[in-house]
C-alpha cells in the first residue's frame, strides 16, 4: 500500500505506525508522530493500523524562535 | 526574577535557537546571554537525517528550561496537534502557542489563539500565547486559563523594537499579577531594556542575536540590557517633564 510520509509517497507493508517507524530506521529515534493530522502518542503507535493513502507525519526536535 | 506557571527562572532573557551560524556559536551565545529558557520547535527530519537528534543533545547540554513552539501553524487544529507532538518530544507541558493569522506580518490570529489556548489548557498544557497587545484579546486569554501573556514588540524578525509603547504600558497596568513577556520584533539591547523598564518580566528574542555579525557579543549585550532595565524599573524612575529644570544649583552662582 501507499503511505504518504512527511509529504512523500512510500510503498510499505507495515501494518501499523510502530512497524513503519522500525522500517524507516526510526524505531528508537526521538520523534513524535501523527496520522491523518491527529497526534498518535508513542504508546499507541503499534495500535495505530495503517491504510492505503494514510498521511503520516514524523517530527523531531529542531531549532525554533 | 520571573516565575512562569510556578517555575522561577533566573533570567529575564528567553532566547530562540534558530538561525545561528553554527551549533557551537549557538551554545556560546546561550552561555553569554545567561538566558533561562530556550525556545525550540518540531519539524520533519529529511530521510535518515539525524539533525534533530543532534540538536536535542545540544539543547540538553545548555541546562536551560525548554519552551517548544507551534511556529508556522495557521490553524487551531495544526497548532493543537503540533503542541501535542511537542509535549511528548520535549517532555514538558509548556507550549509557546503561535496561531498565525497573516502571512506578511506573522500577526497572531486572535480568534484562533483563544480557541487553541482553551483546548490546550483543558488538555493540561501551560500555554505561553504569542499575542498582540490588545487588551480584550489578553483578557480572553487569561479567562481561558493562560497565566502568562507574550505580546509582540513588532512583527517577528523585523527588529523594529517596541511599536506600541502605550499599548504595552496599558497591558502592564491592566495585568499587574500576570507575567508579561515581550516576544518578537526586538533588534537591539536598548529595546529589551526598555521593555523591562516598563515592568515587563522578560523578553524573548532570536533573530537579533542569531543574525548579528557577532551573535555571542550581541547575546552578552542583551544580558546586560535586561539587567539594566530591571534595575531601572526597581529604582522608580523620575517623571519626565516638558520644560527644562537645571540640575546644577542656581543659588550661589556668581553674578558676573
Confidence band, pLDDT 50/70/90 cuts, at residue B48: low
pTM: 0.94
What average pLDDT is seen over chain B? 96
Q: What was the ipTM of the complex prediction? A: 0.95
Region B163-186: mean pLDDT is: 97
Region B214-225: mean pLDDT is: 98
Residue entry with cell 545540544? B58
CB contact under 8 A, A63 and B86: no
Which 16-55 residues of chain B touch chain A by CB within 8 A? 16-20, 39-45, 48, 51-53, 55
Please give the sequence-ordered ranges of beta strands (E in DSSP) within B144-240, or none if there are none: 150-151, 181-183, 202-205
Using a CB-CB distance cutoff of 8 angstroms, which residues of chain A are in contact with residue B56?
30, 60-61
pLDDT of residue B50: 81
Does residue B49 carry a pLDDT above 80?
no
Smallest CA–CA distance from A28 into chain B, residue:
B53
Using a CB-CB distance cutoff of 8 angstroms, which residues of chain A are in contact with residue B85?
32-34, 39, 57, 59
Question: Which residues in chain A show pLDDT less than 50?
Answer: none
Q: For B126-165, write each residue's pLDDT tens digit.
A: 999 999 999 999 999 999 999 999 999 999 999 999 999 9
Does residue B205 carry a pLDDT above 80?
yes
Single out the residue of A60, A47, A38, A39 nearest to residue A18, CA to CA: A47
User: Cα–Cα distance between B113 and B97 in angstroms, integer?
Assistant: 8
The C-alpha of A14 sits at a distance from chain B's nearest C-alpha, in angstroms, of 17
Neighbours of B28 (CB within 10 A): 16
Query: Is B178 within 8 Å of B147 (Cβ atoms)?
Result: yes
Domains of chain A: 2-59 (3.10.20.30)
CB contact under 8 A, B69 and A65: yes
Amino acid at each position: 500500500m501507499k503511505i504518504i510520509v512527511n509529504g512523500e509517497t512510500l510503498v510499505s507493508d507495515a501494518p501499523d505506525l510502530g512497524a513503519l517507524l522500525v522500517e524507516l530506521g526510526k524505531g528508537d529515534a526521538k520523534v513524535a508522530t501523527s496520522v491523518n493530522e491527529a497526534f498518535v502518542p508513542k504508546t499507541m503507535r503499534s495500535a495505530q493500523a495503517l491504510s492505503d493513502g494514510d498521511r503520516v507525519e514524523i517530527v523531531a526536535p529542531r531549532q525554533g524562535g | 526574577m520571573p516565575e512562569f506557571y510556578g517555575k522561577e527562572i533566573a533570567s529575564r532573557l528567553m532566547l530562540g535557537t534558530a538561525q545561528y551560524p553554527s551549533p557551537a556559536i549557538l551554545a556560546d551565545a546561550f552561555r553569554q546571554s545567561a538566558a533561562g529558557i530556550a525556545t525550540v520547535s518540531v519539524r520533519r527530519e529529511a530521510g535518515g537525517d539525524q539533525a534533530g537528534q543532534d540538536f536535542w543533545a545540544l539543547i540538553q547540554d545548555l541546562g536551560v528550561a525548554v519552551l517548544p513552539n507551534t511556529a508556522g501553524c495557521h490553524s487551531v487544529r495544526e497548532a493543537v496537534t503540533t503542541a501535542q507532538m511537542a509535549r511528548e518530544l520535549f517532555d514538558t507541558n509548556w507550549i509557546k502557542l503561535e496561531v498565525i493569522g497573516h502571512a506578511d506580518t506573522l500577526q497572531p490570529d486572535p480568534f484562533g489563539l483563544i480557541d487553541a489556548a482553551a483546548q490546550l489548557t483543558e488538555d493540561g498544557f501551560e500555554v505561553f500565547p504569542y499575542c498582540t497587545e490588545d487588551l480584550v484579546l489578553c483578557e480572553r486569554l487569561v479567562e481561558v486559563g493562560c497565566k502568562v501573556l507574550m505580546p509582540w514588540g513588532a512583527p517577528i524578525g523585523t527588529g523594529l523594537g517596541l511599536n506600541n509603547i502605550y499599548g504595552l504600558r496599558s497591558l502592564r497596568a491592566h495585568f499587574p499579577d500576570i507575567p508579561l513577556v515581550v516576544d518578537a520584533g526586538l533588534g537591539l539591547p536598548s529595546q529589551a531594556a526598555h521593555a523591562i523598564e516598563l515592568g515587563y518580566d522578560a523578553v524573548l528574542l532570536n533573530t537579533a542575536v542569531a543574525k548579528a555579525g557577532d551573535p555571542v557579543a550581541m547575546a552578552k549585550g542583551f544580558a546586560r540590557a535586561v539587567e539594566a532595565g530591571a534595575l531601572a524599573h526597581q529604582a522608580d524612575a523620575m517623571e519626565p517633564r516638558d520644560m527644562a529644570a537645571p540640575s546644577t544649583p542656581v543659588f550661589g552662582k556668581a553674578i558676573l
